[in-house]
Amino acid sequence: MNEPFSLSLLAAAAALALAWPRLSRRLALSRAKHPSLTGHARMAKRVAAQVPGYAYDEARFFSADAAPAEVVARRRAGFARLAGQLNTRHAKSIALTHSAREGISDLQFTGAYRVPFQFGPYLRQHLGLGSFVQRTDGVMVTDLDGQRFYDLTGSYGVNVFGHDFYKACIAQGSARAAELGPLLGNYHPAVAWNVEQLKRISGLDEVSFHMSGTEAVMQAVRLARYHTRRKYLVRFSGAYHGWWEDVQPGPGNPLPPGRTYTLKEMDERTLKVLRQRQDIACVLVNPLQALHPNAAAPGDSALIDSARRAHFDRQAYTAWLQQLRQVCTERGIVLIFDEVFVGFRLGIGGAQEYFGVRADLLTYGKTLGGGLPVGVVCGKAALMKRFREQRPADICFARGTFNAHPYVMGAMQVFLERLHSEPVRAMLQGADARWSDRAEQLNLRLRQAGVPVQVANLGSIWTVFYTQPSRYNWMLQFYLREQALLLSWVGTGRLIFSLDYSQAEFDAVCQRFVAAAQAMQADGWWWHEAGLTNRKIRRGVLREMLRQRF
Ligand SMILES: Cc1ncc(COP(=O)(O)O)c(C=O)c1O
């Protein structure tokens, strides 16, 4: 063989051998990504930047699926009735929403992302929704017009035990803190008591207080990086952990993904990556993802077809967490359970107890503040320490003006005391079985009514899905509102029940839910041509976007 040629072959082989470990780790990382866009933050950001903004005119609003004239006429009549009904019944709430909207960035944002964007402008022009309310009592919310709704918003998950419970926490907690007032820096004695309770509940050694769930997660990740001296955090596809840069790579974040690996949940290839790499500081788990692993939190703005599914498999998720725990222990990776959403809702011991797996760091928020804003980190002493005695200048800084605010600590103290009261015990006792049974009751009634809607649940956190292809599923949120069922701005993506719902109140919700779906069906929104599939719908929307773009 030609000598220079064999030498260069040898050199190439040697270079490959040297680069192989790195290449193989890179390959393993790619294989551990979920194939959907939720698994590819960088690509998702690029795709999102290309989606053109456009709106349907009136004709297309009612016939985006090319429904026949008779169906379109029914939709139009139904829409006019619905809009008339809501606009009259909630006139004051809607008027204030309209006039305040311009100055409230949040209202503009939530209003724009309540339905798929093409339908938004026509809908907002004709169908008003009020965002202002004046009173809560029991499971009911009253708006400015005196109209009462069943509350299915769960206050973003804060409301686990009912509005009256939190009103009491705030009132009693404020009374306890009143003498001290909002003094910061020194502590109200409630702080020491809360810490003892949280150590007992979490089974961990130390506690730090912050002002929101986002901040608690930031601090947990920062501590993990500080102690492991590694840079990367692993989060799972679709999981929400607040809006801080590193935990929210991809669309929604102006920066490109930084030191975050977004990997596939419940997958052996992810475990392989964790075993192989030396640069992973921590793994963040949001146990709510057990309801829809690897999918983003469901919202009606992305409901362009009926492909969305959800299903909670407790056994499978438990097995996954056990494997994850083992690998993290072997590799010195910090396992963080983000219990900001599910904490205290799955039981006092939270996800750790529910799934029988222990974390190294835990984050809490939402409900733990007893109705006031809070974020909490609980952790092992070695991980919570923010300085090194041997290197006193090498610290992990975390302070916040309002941390451990006396009023928040007071409300938290009442919250933690009341966890052991009889009414709360009764709400938590058998809650899992009760809420799964209730989901089944609703599913049965929906099937009997012949409407293409079902629900899936993780305890009292529910999500709606649709059993036949349609472009109009998101309309259901407005029929639900007509039936006095109040959902959050993400539409039918998430219904959150407070545990104080009696069976009679739940039955009323069920009956109204079915009535809403039947009205929507009667108005023709679920008409679909034979042979329509979700795939065909998606392709059609894609073609439409391409036409707009080019
Ligand atoms: C799991 C999880 N982590 C963190 C956060 C952020 O909490 P906050 O909104 O209080 O910043 C949320 C909020 O929904 C959450 O659900």
534-549 pLDDT per residue, tens: 999 999 999 999 999 8
Is 355 among the domain residues?
yes
Q: What is the pLDDT of residue 1?
A: 52
Using a 6 Å cutoff on CB, does residue 286 contact ligand 1? yes
Q: What is the pLDDT of residue 170?
A: 98
Is 306 among the domain residues?
no
| Locus of tokens 């601090």 | 219
Residue ending a domain, choose from 375, 408, 427: 427
For residue 403, give its domain range.
163-295+312-427
Average pLDDT, the chain: 95
Using a 6 Å cutoff on CB, does residue 486 contact ligand 1? no
Using a 6 Å cutoff on CB, does residue 524 contact ligand 1? no
How many angstroms separate the alpha carbon of residue 445 from the centre of ligand 1? 33
C-alpha torsion 103→109→110→112, nearest 10? 110
Q: What is the pLDDT of residue 7?
A: 75
| Nearest Cα residue to atom 3 of ligand 1 | 241
173-184 pLDDT per residue, tens: 999 999 999 999
Is 21 among the domain residues?
no
Using a 6 Å cutoff on CB, does residue 241 contact ligand 1? yes
Confidence of residue 9 (pLDDT cuts 50, 70, 90): confident
Mean pLDDT computed over 386-400: 93
How many angstroms separate the alpha carbon of residue 342 from the centre of ligand 1? 10
Mean pLDDT computed over 397-416: 96
Structure tokens at 206: 């130390």
Are 190 and 247 within one domain? yes
For residue 521, which of 449, 462, 441 has the smallest C-alpha distance?
A: 449
Q: What is the pLDDT of residue 6?
A: 76
Are 196 and 103 within one domain? no
Is 391 among the domain residues?
yes
Are 246 and 395 within one domain? yes
Using a 6 Å cutoff on CB, does residue 158 contact ligand 1? no
How many angstroms separate the alpha carbon of residue 485 from the centre of ligand 1? 24
Residue ending a domain, choose from 365, 399, 427: 427
Mean pLDDT computed over 125-150: 97
Confidence of residue 14 (pLDDT cuts 50, 70, 90): confident
224 burial (CB, 10 Å; 0-12 / 13-18 / 19+) is buried
Are 352 and 398 within one domain? yes
Considering the chain, what percentage of its residues have pLDDT values greater than 90? 91
Are 514 and 372 within one domain? no
Which of 10-24, 50-64, 116-130, 184-198 is least confident? 10-24
- Does 11 score more than 90 pLDDT? no
By most ligand atoms within 8 Å of CB, the mutation choice from 265, 337, 366 for ligand 1 is 366
63-106 pLDDT per residue, tens: 999 999 999 999 999 999 999 999 999 999 999 999 999 999 99
Are 175 and 148 within one domain? no
> DSSP secondary structure string, 255-280?
SPP-SEEEE-SS-HHHHHHHHH-S-E
Are 244 and 384 within one domain? yes
Is 485 among the domain residues?
yes
Atom number, ligand 1, closest to the C-alpha of residue 157 = 14
Are 322 and 400 within one domain? yes
| Locus of tokens 């701005």 | 489
Integer angstrom CA distances of residue 495 from 138, 327, 444, 480: 17, 34, 18, 11
Q: What is the pLDDT of residue 440?
A: 98
Q: What is the pLDDT of residue 196?
A: 98
Are 152 and 225 within one domain? no
Is 418 among the domain residues?
yes
Is 544 among the domain residues?
no
Q: Rounded to 5 degrees, what angle do the CA atoms 132, 136, 142 make?
A: 50
| CATH number of the structural domain spanning residue 235 | 3.40.640.10
Are 321 and 399 within one domain? yes
Are 137 and 184 within one domain? no
By most ligand atoms within 8 Å of CB, the mutation choice from 156, 209, 214 for ligand 1 is 214
Residue ending a domain, choose from 427, 454, 487: 427
Are 125 and 233 within one domain? no
Is 14 among the domain residues?
no
Mean pLDDT computed over 127-141: 96
Integer angstrom CA distances of residue 450 from 305, 445, 446, 467, 518: 19, 9, 6, 11, 8
Confidence of residue 16 (pLDDT cuts 50, 70, 90): confident
User: Number of structural domains, the chain?
Assistant: 2
Yes or no: say if 419 and 200 are a contact pair by the CB < 8 Å rule.
no
